[in-house]
Amino acid sequence: MAKPGTFTCTACGAVHNRWSGRCDACGEWNSIIEEAPLSTGPKGKTLGGKRGTPLILTDLSTEEAPPPRTLSGIGELDRVLGGGLVPSSAILVGGDPGIGKSTLLLQAAARFAGAGLKTFYISGEEASAQVRMRAQRLGLGEAPIKLAAATSLRDILTTMESEKPDLVIIDSIQTVWSDTVEAAPGSVSQVRAAAHELTSFAKRFGTSVILVGHVTKDGQIAGPRVVEHMVDCVLYFEGERGHQFRILRSVKNRFGPADEIGVFEMTGAGLAEVANPSALFLSGRGAPTPGSVVFSGIEGTRPLLVEMQALVAPTPHAQPRRAVVGWDGARLAMILAVLEARCGIPFAGLDVYLNVAGGLKISEPAADLAVAAALLSAREDTALPAETVVFGEISLSGALRPVGQTENRLKEAQKLGFTAAITPSGGKTTGDSGLKLTHMGDLTTFVGDIFGAG
């Protein structure tokens, strides 16, 4: 909470010493309000003269059974959660409007309720009849879930304290308001207060709480970033409107690996989990064509094969265009610069388009070599050898650096029928991978051996 005499922006949470019509941090107008201090008292005693209650301390070596996890039966969701739902956990789920957050959580609520958890679904955006209608469309009309339509934090906490549920889903945290905070619902102050109270309730009473969060145009969860620090898990539900695939990505998890992903497919009957996403992402791939390269990546603990597509064409404009979908545009500019400076292959006067097939977003540096191969393949109009996967990191000097989990990448490629792989020299492998491996030490050697250029 802000200090006495300070003002806070309800849009971005920036703190100002005085009121002004426009926030200097985010540029919003009429969004700065004065916040009351958390407590006031004598000088030097911010908590007043009353003493608190002593804390109960235990030894680290105290042997206690870990809390049991509850499996939902949705394998992709359980994977992202780290092996199931942990009691007393607080989970924040964000995603674009209409991406399927409510559908996924309603399906998960039905599964958890079927596993024996007392489950509440509290919606601040829909009436109970609307939620029931969606459940019937998904074939979940008989699920033992308690529904409610409420936005008052006091009413929600009172109901939770009296009913003592095992799992509560709040859809969404931006609609919940506290009558102790003088701000509009969805503001920074309201979201922070509601998230704090719900998270504290989860820790005190052993109830798992799942909060749905809206996202901004930048893709970040709306509201103060402190909410992401409060909760135990932060999940993002991603996907492109034009693709049926949906990616549930973990960016924070106190009970399992971060950066884990779960893959779902949007169908007429809801979201269906995809047990083998590599085969699905490569399902539309036909005969080898110029500009198409298969990359063997790692998402969390899961190896994943995706197709990198590139198109290089002459441009009539003075400034060539660089368009990227599913990858970092700045890293593409770096790869183009290395190809020109170290290999003598210019891309001036050429438009460059790069796409990750299937709507997946790739962030690991191991995709550098696959991107360079796709760009060269498109520029030279030469297809790479069939059934070949490529991965490796490119340094600014043009050297190829080995990447982690090389063996898992090769095993996934072999499982899907690939017979060859192009990798950097020095990668750690144990045993026979079953693939014909081609090791490259630098980008110049790769260009000369594969494309005969440079």
pLDDT per residue as tens digits for the range 426-436 = 877 766 678 89
Angle at which helices 153-163 and 188-205 cross, to 10°? 10
Architecture of domain 75-275: 3-Layer(aba) Sandwich (3.40)
SS (H, E, C) the chain: CCCCCCEEECCCCCEECCCCCECCCCCCECCEEECCCCCCCCCCCCCCCCCCCCCCCCCCCCCCCCCCCECCCCHHHHHHCCCCECCCCEEEEEECCCCCHHHHHHHHHHHHHHCCCCEEEEECCCCHHHHHHHHHHCCCCCCCEEEEECCEHHHHHHHHHHHCCCEEEEECHHHCECCCCCCCCCCHHHHHHHHHHHHHHHHHHCCEEEEEECECCCCCECCCCHHHHHCCEEEEEECCCCCCEEEEEEEEECCCCCCCEEEEEEECCEEEECCCHHHHHCCCCCCCCCCEEEEEEEECCEEEEEEEEEEEEECCCCCCCEEEECCCHHHHHHHHHHHHHHHCCCCCCEEEEEEEHHHCCCCCHHHHHHHHHHHHHHHHCCCCCCCEEECCEECCCCEEECCCCHHHHHHHHHHCCCCEEEEECCCCCCCCCCCEEEEECEHHHHHHHHHCCC
User: Annotation-wise, does 66 bind a ligand?
Assistant: no
* HSE toward the beta carbon, residue 227, CA cutoff 13 A: 33
Mean pLDDT, rounded, for 357-363: 85
Query: Roughly what angle, to the nearest 10 degrees, separates helices 443-451 and 368-380?
Result: 40
Cα(189)–Cα(192) distance, rounded to whole angstroms? Answer: 5
Is residue 263 within 8 A of residue 302, CB to CB? The reply is no
pLDDT digits (tens, 9 = 90+) for 56-74: 887 877 776 777 899 999 9
Q: Looking at the predicted structure, is the pLDDT value of residue 38 above 60?
A: no
Q: Please report the pLDDT score of residue 301 as a whole number.
A: 83
Q: What is the mean pLDDT of the chain?
A: 88
- Bond before 172 cis per omega within 30 degrees: yes
102 annotated ligand-binding residue: yes
Kindly tell me if the per-residue pLDDT of 17 is higher than 90. no
Does 164 carry a binding-site annotation?
A: no
Per the model's pLDDT, the better-predicted residue between 390 and 42 turns out to be 390
pLDDT of residue 431: 63
CB 91 within 8 A of CB 232: yes
Q: Determine if residue 95 is labeled as part of a ligand binding site.
A: yes
Average pLDDT in the 114-118 region?
A: 94
Question: Which residues make beta-bridge pairs with 322?
Answer: 352
pLDDT-derived band at 41, boundaries 50, 70, 90 = very low
On the question of pLDDT at 358 being above 70, the answer is: yes
Confidence of residue 55 (pLDDT cuts 50, 70, 90): confident
- Least confident piece of the model among 235-244, 264-273, 394-403: 235-244
Measured between alpha carbons, how far is 389 from 369 in angstroms, rounded to an integer? 10
Q: How many Cβ atoms are within 10 Å of 57's Cβ, its own excluded?
A: 5
Task: Render pLDDT for 148-199 as a digit per residue (tens, 0 to 9).
Answer: 999 999 999 999 999 999 999 999 899 999 998 888 888 888 999 999 999 9
Question: From the centroid of its chain, how far is CA 294?
Answer: 23
First to last CA, the chain: 60
Residues whose CB is less than 8 angstroms from the CB of residue 446 and which lie 6 or more positions away in sequence, other chains included: 369, 372, 373, 400, 422, 440
Categorize the per-residue pLDDT at 44 as very low, low, confident or very high, splitting at 50, 70 and 90. very low
Which tokens in the block code for residue 19? 């009121």
Q: How many CB atoms lie within 10 A of CB 333?
A: 13
**pTM above the 0.75 mark?**
yes
pLDDT value of position 278: 86
Q: What is the pLDDT, as a whole number, of residue 37? A: 58
pLDDT at 47 over 90: no
Residues 299 and 410: beta-carbon distance below 8 Å: no
Provide the pLDDT for residue 40: 47
Tell whether residue 100 is among the known ligand binding residues: yes
**Amino acid 48: pLDDT:** 60
- Give tens-digit pLDDT for 232-248: 999 999 887 667 888 89
Write out pLDDT tens, residues 76-108: 999 999 999 999 999 999 998 888 999 999 999
Q: What is the CATH number of domain 280-451?
A: 3.30.230.10
State the pLDDT at residue 237.
92
- At residue 49 the predicted structure's pLDDT band, cuts being 50, 70 and 90, is low
415 is in an annotated binding site: no
Please indicate if the annotation marks 98 as binding a ligand. Answer: yes
- Of 45-59, 67-81, 98-112, 387-401, the range with the lowest mean pLDDT is 45-59
pLDDT digits (tens, 9 = 90+) for 210-222: 999 988 877 778 7
* Whole-number pLDDT of residue 5: 59
- For residue 142, the tally of other CB atoms under 10 A from its CB is 10
Other Cβ atoms within 10 Å of 353 Cβ, number: 17
- Report yes or no: 93 and 209 within 8 Å, Cβ to Cβ: no
How large is the average pLDDT for residues 349-359? Answer: 91
pLDDT in tens, 294-350: 999 998 888 999 999 999 999 988 899 999 999 999 999 999 999 999 999 999 999
